Structure 1
Amino acid sequence: MFSTFDEALSWVNGRLKFGIKPGLGRMEKLLDALDRPEKKIKAIHVAGTNGKGSTIAFIRSILNEAGYTAGTFTSPYIITFNERISVDGIPISDEEWTALFNEIAPLVLELEKTEYGAATEFEIITACAFLYFAKYRKTDFVIFETGLGGRLDSTNVVDPILTVITTIGHDHTAILGETLEEIAAEKAGIIKCGVPVLTAVHQHEAAEVIKRKAAESGSSFISLYEHCDIYGERSLPDGEQFSLRTPGHQYEKMETGLMGTHQRQNASLAILAVEWLAAEQHAAIRSEELRAGLKKAAWAGRFEKVLEKPLTFIDGAHNKEGVDRLAETIAAHFGERNIHVCFSALKDKPYQDMIRKLETFASSVHFTSFDFPRAESAQKLYEQCHARCKTYDENIASVFRLIDEKAADEKALVIITGSLYFISAVRSALKE
């Protein structure tokens, strides 16, 4: 059907026109036709507003250090489409993706003729992930990240051994609900009967929703903030340090290779996850492997250094809570710098709240846009900003001009942030 990867990718990208269709009916029918591949893997299912990718990166890195192969299914991609399905941090090849699309496309076209209708882009690539890990590449574990919400997310057909819910915040409110309780209920929808759930949700009302759902499902519930203690926290030049006391163990002076005060929480949640895997004899993990895995974990686009002069980071802070964590990280690591922010966002995001926060710590704010159907115009973003020093340019190339202008300032710190699609575009151009 498809002779090249570009043809296959063009076909699946064309499915974006079908938008987001919450619900599991089409996924169930598609997986029936594939002989239920999701039943043939050992999966960990991860949901949450922020922190999913970093938590997955920590878990995967620790498992790798202990000698296990770990597949991941994540979205959206930052560097290349291929990274959505990866094994031990390495994206699968163009040829593998093409083979998956060739196998699934006829089933998708048949499905369109039924009452279930057209499958979306995300449903198709989720089915590809299940197929790949069940049929083409056996791994010890597969970690699945939800795309949107949880309860009706395409990944929620999986039958995991462990469920992880990272954080709850205000994102995708038009679909998931306006209140933290409503959003938490959607995320908690991934909890399966008898499957343990671990969470770093700290808001009482949201945590209670998850706890109730776990109780109704007969699932054990471990809260990072209710059952554990994070202490000895401090920022290092290239990461974070913390100590952690869990119900079963104590970990002293753990270090992450990922910068950001919130990474202490994400790393702690990852420790809880691998501790559970070890306790249930799914994996044997020594303390030195756990420590090394945290230190070696990497995740593109999460407070990632991309230039030394001027010192430049990209960070996918695409909601209010993400910008709050960005502000904390800058204060902890770069309080004496002149902060120059480049920002772009999607139309359907509450970017007014994000801009309000940026104004509190930025010396200047530059707004731009990028090539994406839902990208907001730079001018509209600019009009929402009250900062004294603000500029805008619809052309994304203006980001690179700003970087060049700041190169001579030894105290300059450039932060490129906002939509993950935006930082992906900037990152690709910078690497080229």
Structure 2
Amino acid sequence: MFHTYEEALNWIHSRLRLGVKPGVKRMEWMMERLNDPERSLKTIHVGGTNGKGSTVSFLRSILQTAGYKIGTFTSPYFEQFNERISVNGKPISDDELLQLVNIIKPLADELEKTELGGPTEFEIITALAIYYFSKINQVDVVIFEVGLGGRFDSTNIIHPILSIITSIGLDHTNILGNTLGEIAFEKAGIIKNGTPLLTAVKQPEALHVLLKEAESKKAQVYKIGEEFSVTNHVPLPKGETFSVNSIFKQYTDLKISLIGEHQTENAALAVMASIYLTQFFAFQIEEDDVRTGLEAAYWPGRFEIISEGPLIIIDGAHNKEGINSLAAAIQERYPNKKIHVVFAALNDKKLDEMINKIDELAADVTFVDFPFQRAASAAQLYHISKSLNKHQAANWRELLINKLQLLEKDEVLIITGSLYFISEVKPFLVQLRQKNE
């Protein structure tokens, strides 16, 4: 029995020692002991390599604007742990988390003594979320973001009314496979019998796998570029404007505040989901709800402008596809500015491909250390880079203080890489700016 939030949180994080244990058997065991709370939830399941969090945010904002009470389960957290389990964008309270942990811990202790072994950190958090939305703070719909893959992810015990697969890229290849087809097979594991799928996947190899799995499950598929599409995209100084055409309905001149052309596709998935829910589940979602919800949606650390004078942008571009999207947005918006990049990454990523793109983008790049279990060292990143103007730094805080003092009007500072790194950088920069004002 824990008595404080800190004790409960420390226990959750202590489960990290178990690493990643693919499979849903432990989740099924815990849910059975809790009388299957997942079965009482109306859920939407969102998987994919990139864009999951943004799509969740867009869809939550639309549904909330329409008057629905929406739960979200997302990962990783950006500013505080509790945000992983939220209702209408508001994280659960410390007291609620403490209450939940005291319910789940005895089950985890019991499970540890079985042949299945103890539940991982992510399995514990998933169980907390399911119980919370089912028993403590009941909502109209819960949007679950897949943690890793799909087929063996702990969230895959839910029975959604709609599945969404945003994109597929070569990430987590040590677990999910080395080809787009293999990774698509894992992502396709969230497709359920008779449950429709919305997807922005375009690569023929990956899409073929999704369609084959959907066919076997008799699941209707709505594909971007076919059943729905993004048209008339125009970048704005602080966002994007575009239209969405679907087989059911069209929306013109939509606006989002998240930056980058890739965000229009994530938004289109959310729009198509709202259309589907209106058409087939009698949701009351008006055009104004879609427009207002999209524009209000916010997802931290995604091409987020921290300062305009000097221009500082943070972006959790944590894999090759993310870096490519970042580069495209930078080149579109700031073609004549000198780009400085500060970069940190985890060592299980395709570092060479990511760094090659950064080398092309940046006038100079500095690789930094940050304290995280799977972080690549600054030296490791430095040696991969072929930039003629590259540097490495052990103390990223001192580095940023110096960089900000030297940044000129026609220059942009991009801080990117691991989301874990970016989540440390943002509060530091905000505090630094407040101190200097």
Q: Same fold by TM-score, threshold 0.5 exceeded?
A: yes
Shift of 1:227: 2.0
Q: 1:319 is aligned with what amino acid?
A: N
Q: What is residue 58 of structure 1 aligned with on the other side? A: 58
Shift of 1:402: 4.1
Superposition pairs for residues 338-357 of structure 1, below 5 Å? 338-357=338-357
Give yes or no for contact 1:108–1:119 (8 Å, CA) kept in 2.
yes
Cα RMSD (Å) of the superposition?
1.0
Worse overlay, 163-172 or 30-39? 30-39
Q: What is residue 425 of structure 1 aligned with on the other side? A: 424
Q: 2:217 is aligned with what amino acid?
A: S
Q: Deviations over 1:326-380 (max 9, x none)?
A: 0111112111211111100111111111000011111110110111111111011
Q: What is residue 68 of structure 1 aligned with on the other side? A: 68
**Whole-angstrom distance in 2 between the partners of 1:63 and 1:387:** 46
**Whole-angstrom distance in 2 between the partners of 1:292 and 1:402:** 40
Matched position secondary structure for 2:284: coil
Q: 2:429 is aligned with what amino acid?
A: L
Q: What is residue 245 of structure 1 aligned with on the other side? A: 245
Worse overlay, 397-406 or 78-87? 397-406
1:416 equivalenced with 2:389 (yes/no) = no
Superposition pairs for residues 10-89 of structure 1, below 5 Å? 10-89=10-89
Shift of 1:230: 1.8
Shift of 1:309: 2.6
**Whole-angstrom distance in 2 between the partners of 1:403 and 1:306:** 14
Give yes or no for contact 2:340–2:412 (8 Å, CA) kept in 1.
yes
Q: Deviations over 1:371-404 (max 9, x none)?
A: 1111111011011111111111122213422432
Q: 1:246 is aligned with what amino acid?
A: S
Q: What is residue 199 of structure 2 aligned with on the other side? A: 199
Give yes or no for contact 1:310–1:403 (8 Å, CA) kept in 2.
no
Q: Deviations over 1:235-265 (max 9, x none)?
A: 0011001112111111111111111111111
**Whole-angstrom distance in 1 between the partners of 2:379 and 2:130:** 42
Q: 2:306 is aligned with what amino acid?
A: V
Superposition pairs for residues 370-409 of structure 1, below 5 Å? 370-407=370-407, 409=408
Q: Deviations over 1:81-109 (max 9, x none)?
A: 01000111111111111111111001100
1:301 equivalenced with 2:294 (yes/no) = no
**Whole-angstrom distance in 1 between the partners of 2:333 and 2:142:** 34
Shift of 1:431: 3.0
Superposition pairs for residues 198-217 of structure 1, below 5 Å? 198-217=198-217
Q: What is residue 224 of structure 1 aligned with on the other side? A: 224
Structure 1 residue runs without a partner (length 5+): none
Give yes or no for contact 1:406–1:412 (8 Å, CA) kept in 2.
no
Give yes or no for contact 1:368–1:398 (8 Å, CA) kept in 2.
no
Shift of 1:282: 4.1
**Whole-angstrom distance in 2 between the partners of 1:398 and 1:275:** 49
Q: What is residue 256 of structure 2 aligned with on the other side? A: 256
Give yes or no for contact 1:364–1:390 (8 Å, CA) kept in 2.
yes
Q: What is residue 102 of structure 2 aligned with on the other side? A: 102
1:136–1:282 Cα change, 3 Å: farther
Q: How many residue pairs were aligned?
A: 431
**Whole-angstrom distance in 1 between the partners of 2:400 and 2:36:** 47
Matched position secondary structure for 2:396: coil
Q: Deviations over 1:295-339 (max 9, x none)?
A: 110000111111233211111111101100001111121112111
Matched position secondary structure for 1:299: coil
Q: 2:253 is aligned with what amino acid?
A: K
**Whole-angstrom distance in 1 between the partners of 2:142 and 2:316:** 24
Shift of 1:289: 1.0
Give yes or no for contact 1:310–1:406 (8 Å, CA) kept in 2.
no
Matched position secondary structure for 2:208: helix
Please list every run of at least 4 consecutive aligned residues from structure 1 whose deviation after the TM superposition is greater than 6 angstroms: none
Shift of 1:45: 0.2
Shift of 1:20: 0.2
**Whole-angstrom distance in 2 between the partners of 1:68 and 1:268:** 20
1:2 equivalenced with 2:2 (yes/no) = yes
Structure 2 residue runs without a partner (length 5+): 432-437
Give yes or no for contact 1:20–1:120 (8 Å, CA) kept in 2.
yes
Worse overlay, 386-395 or 198-207? 386-395
Q: Deviations over 1:173-232 (max 9, x none)?
A: 011111101101100000010100000001111111111111100111110122223211
Matched position secondary structure for 2:306: strand
